[in-house]
Structure 1
Amino acid sequence: MLRFTALLLCFCSSVATLSILDQIHWVTEPVPVCDMKNSNNSYIYCNGTLLMAVNFHELYNDSKTFVDMPMRYDPDYILKQFNTEFHNVSIENINKTKLKVFVDEHFT
């Protein structure tokens, strides 16, 4: 009886998982990370002042390091925080130390 109950629980769990999987909208074609129509991530990882500042100040030895860093927060929030902190400063005049602190706080 115990084996039957365990088997039944496994079966029910599998059925529940399948119903959840049926609700997922699967991507059938690749979605470019830097597609501005797809995501606000493009304003962080593909173009924009934040990316230009990180590259200008050479925060990392490899320019790909920053774009590989996951965000800790929503991209809109990060951009708002960046614009609040650095909005009146040209890229070349952004304090490198403050920029590094900002990146460390908002990316992992």
Structure 2
Amino acid sequence: MAVAAAAVAAALLLLLAADGTVAERLPPTCPSDIYCTGPLLHVVQMASIYHDSKTFVDMKMKYSSNETLRIFEDLMKRTEQKPSRLEVELFVNETFEPAGSEFESWTPDDWIQQPRFLENIADPDLRQWGSKLNLLWNSLGRKMKEDVRINHDRYSIIYVPHPVIVPGGRFREFYYWDSYWIIKGLILSEMFQTVKGMLTNFLSIVDMYGFIPNGGRIYYAMRSQPPLLIPMMKSYVDATHDVDFIKSNIHILEKEF
């Protein structure tokens, strides 16, 4: 079996080596000539001005996409299509705002310092650890600025009306699979209002895309994960008995599944 698997892998590598245009024939992850495809994205990412390739594609444009592309074309003409790393960095600083500028400060309104699950932890060290975990909700909450809704075409983030809890670190937006587990933790922490807001966000995204992308950025719009919205909704309804919420959205759940 291992020999056969190795043979298949070798054959695939040979096929890819023989046809270097395979990647070029794949469709872009989204139509954006800034965040998903095109020479601007290629030049900026190949310049490696950031340690993380995600940094640039999470930035907000200061100007419209047409104006941003015009400034980029001027740069390319001025440098004879060979801008230096410093020139690319100056261009990005001139035309984009730092990653994360789409959010405003937000602390969950329904956060509880001592949720009931802590009372069931007998070991004092584990109870203290659980209390510290519960504190993390306050640092992982994100709320989008109203400008994201108004000027959504200047962002890579997908606008949602309610605040979310994100995985953290470089992942500033929601992620579908992660949210399944996050919602389970929020329910344990009795943060039902936050959970309902996140579920409402997902329902609006299904209305928009017909499914929920892997994450909350337009460059994730061509990929998804297993349909977890129904299990999320079940966890919420089991905990709150908010049957009306599921009744009013059952058609969207069916559409997503």
Instruction: State the TM-score bracket (shorter-chain normalisation).
Output: 0.5 to 0.7
User: Quick one: which amino acid aligns to residue 86 of structure 1?
Assistant: M
Report the TM-score when normalising by structure 2.
Answer: 0.25
C-alpha displacement at 1:85, in angstroms? 1.7
User: Shift of residue 57 of structure 1?
Assistant: 1.0
TM-score by length of 1: 0.58
Residue 73 of structure 1: which of 63, 81, 89 is its match? 63
Q: Cα RMSD over matched residues?
A: 1.5
* Aligned mates of 1:84, 1:55 — CA distance in 2: 18
Distance 1:57 1:82 in 2: 14
- Higher fraction of strand: 2
Among candidates 24, 30, 45, match of residue 35 of structure 1:
30
Deviation at 1:49, TM superposition (A): 1.1
Residues 47-95 of structure 1: CA deviation (Å, up to 9, x unaligned): 11111111111010000000000111101000011001213634xx321
Q: Which runs of 5+ in 1 are unaligned?
A: 1-33, 37-41
Count of aligned pairs between the two proteins:
68
Partner of residue 21, structure 1: none
Paired residue secondary structure (1:43): coil
Paired residue type of 2:30:
D
- Equivalence map 1:27-106=2 (5 Å): 34-36=29-31, 42-87=32-77, 89-90=80-81, 93-106=82-95
Q: How far apart, CA to CA, are the structure 1 residues paired with 2:38 and 2:80?
A: 14
1:83, 1:55 → 2: CA distance? Answer: 16
Distance 1:102 1:95 in 2: 11
Distance 1:99 1:35 in 2: 23
| 2-structure distance, mates of 1:81, 1:107 | 12
Q: What is the CA distance between 1:104 and its match in structure 2?
A: 0.3
Counterparts of 1:103 and 1:35 in 2: how far apart (Å)?
A: 21
Q: Secondary structure at the match of 1:65?
A: helix
